[in-house]
Amino acid sequence: MVHNQIFRRGITEQKILAAFTDVPRHLFVPLSKRNSSYEDYPLSIGAGQTISQPYIVALMTKVLDVCEGQKVLEIGTGSGYQAAILAHLGVEVYSVERISSLAHNAKETLARLGYSVRIHVGDGTLGWQEHSPYERIVVTAATPGVSPYWMKQLNVGGKLVVPLGGPLRQDLTVAQKVSDNDIQEDIVCGCMFVPLIGKYGYRE
């Protein structure tokens, strides 16, 4: 997985490759799908949700551009795999998930592996005010537009990585907060995520 799907597609940062080598992806995949854990596609994790394709997780990690010790907010905990990769890179991860059964499973898996990721069940389009501001925000579900709460809870100079677009197809976008009310957006590539559901998602 690391060599063929991630390194050969241009993600060569040693720390990121080490995180993907060290974090056991199969523990984030339901038992019935374990044989496919390291394949080059997303997998269903129940409740109609998915764990993203390994390359997409790696690409989001790369463009999120984190440094050890930074505070990162993830919207869409899902299996907890992206959170584990970020925690492995030494960042302080706060993650919001709307489906409590997924949040519960992710919490267990992360704790079992010794990652101290904080997880909150709720509507991530509202961010997580309590621990703000964040240096980075990563949204792992398809998003119709940047939530004003994310803008408010992100530091000036901070980055937001988010799949922006319609429910069927999005542009993976890196948005840098350049001042209190302005962001500068760069599109990385096309992508396909499950939809964000909530106040600033596709529906409430």
Query: Which residues are designated catalytic?
Result: 52
Two tokens, residue 55? 């390359």
Binders in 134-173 for ligand SAH, by CB under 6 A:
140-141
CA distance 110 to 122: 19
Contacts of 117 (CB under 8 A, 6+ apart): 80, 83, 84, 86, 87, 93, 94, 95, 106, 107, 110
Neighbour-count burial for 110-126, b at 16+ CB within 10 Å, e otherwise:
beebebebbbbbebbbb
DSSP three-state, residue 127: coil
Residue choice 29, 59, 99, 119 for contact with ligand SAH (CB under 6 A): 99
CA distance 6 to 40: 10
- Which span sits near ligand SAH by CB under 6 A: 93-101, 144-152, 163-171, 176-184? 93-101
Q: Does residue number 105 form part of the binding site for ligand SAH (CB under 6 A)?
A: no
Map residues 3-32 to x or -, x wherever contact with ligand SAH holds by CB under 6 A.
------------------------------
Q: CB-wise, 2 or 182, nearer to ligand SAH?
A: 2
Q: Does residue number 196 form part of the binding site for ligand SAH (CB under 6 A)?
A: yes
> Smallest gap, in angstroms, from Cβ of residue 126 to ligand SAH?
8
Map residues 35-74 to x or -, x wherever contact with ligand SAH holds by CB under 6 A.
--------------xxxx----------------------
Residue choice 25, 98, 136, 177 for contact with ligand SAH (CB under 6 A): 98
CA distance 153 to 137: 9
CA distance 150 to 163: 14
Q: Can you give the binding site for ligand SAH, defined by CB under 6 A?
A: 49-52, 75-76, 78-79, 81-82, 96-99, 102, 123-125, 140-141, 194, 196-198, 201
